[in-house]
Amino acid sequence: MISHGDMGVVYRAEELALQRPVALKLIVPEYSRDERFRERFRRESKIAAAIDHPNVIPVFDAGEEGGVLYIMMRLIEGTDLRALIAAEGAHIEPVRVARIVRHVGAALDAAHARGMLHRDIKPSNVLIARRDHVYLSDFGLAKQATAADALTRGQTIVARAEYVAPEQILNEPVDARADIYALGCLLFEALTGEPPFAKVSGGQGALAHLDAPRPTPSEIRPDIPRGFDDVVHRAMAIEPTERYPSAGDLGRAALVAAGELRSAGRAGPESSVATGEAAPVNGRRSAGSSTGASRVGAAATARAGGRDSLRWAIAIAGLVLVAVGMIAALHGISTL
């Protein structure tokens, strides 16, 4: 076994036909039994296998055996960003962080251009091979474990996702900009050694993504260039329209902040590369139209209402926990 997570277990294995080492991921039964997940798994595995990019792990095979869904990928010898952060904390060189984020951004652009969202950007999915060659893994495997599903089930807050975009929490339409938001969170954690809003406890951590001031990496790590503050703030903007239009643009901005690149504009003007499902949800709306303005206002009102609903849900959940604790204590006293 190499690793395990919510979606499944990854094993080091051997492909018998070609006698080569591979990484074999077995999807946990909870998802394998879900027909909607199975169908999407088949479709998105084909798309992932078709992505030919140096920062995307090649997919060799995917399918089902004995009722178990599996995906076979190139075995990457090295480490992952989660292990690197655990080992070095807030001491990873800013230039190295920027290069890693640039590679992840390039991988995301390749996926977004094919209409695929990643949905599960996190340090453990960023693999680092020799000479710091970066691979992004687990494309398309997280549909049934989206942040919205993890955070809300039947309007009840059950968990906190560290990289969740505000629109995911509110169960609004999601596009490539949710991945860009998560990449901004990853940049923050790689620089500081802790995820955004790490000091906010309980369900309030999720609400912090909705309306709290954006985290500033230089406040935690004063030695890094201040340019990273602006990059994180824009990448993690509450409104999707205020974020970088592409993950590649974010990566180039990180290189500029690190002093590795003089200007992000040298690679061309900023623009979205996403198509299909990954394309911006409001991409067809004219920014100057009165209809567009009214829709933006309506969306902002809806988002505010969604935040209030979540606050009430968390408050009620807290009161329930307190009540349960009091009942348990009284019950304990009565039995003495």
Q: Which residues are tagged catalytic?
A: 120
Tokens 């230039």 belong to residue = 95
User: How many Cβ atoms sit within 10 Å of the Cβ of residue 309?
Assistant: 13
Strands 68-74 and 126-128: unpaired
From the list 215, 121, 202, 136, the residue with the least C-alpha distance to 168 is 121
User: How many Cβ atoms sit within 10 Å of the Cβ of residue 8?
Assistant: 23
Q: Please count the CA atoms within 13 angstroms of the CA of 4 that sit on its side-chain side.
A: 3
Give the Cα separation of 20 and 52 in Å (integer). 20
What lies within 8 Å, CB to CB, of 191 at 6+ separation is 90, 92, 94, 97, 217, 221, 224, 228
From the list 29, 49, 127, the residue with the least C-alpha distance to 82 is 127
List the alpha helices (DSSP H) in 25-93: 29-32, 35-50, 81-88
CA distances from 118 to 37, 65, 113, 193 (A): 15, 25, 12, 23
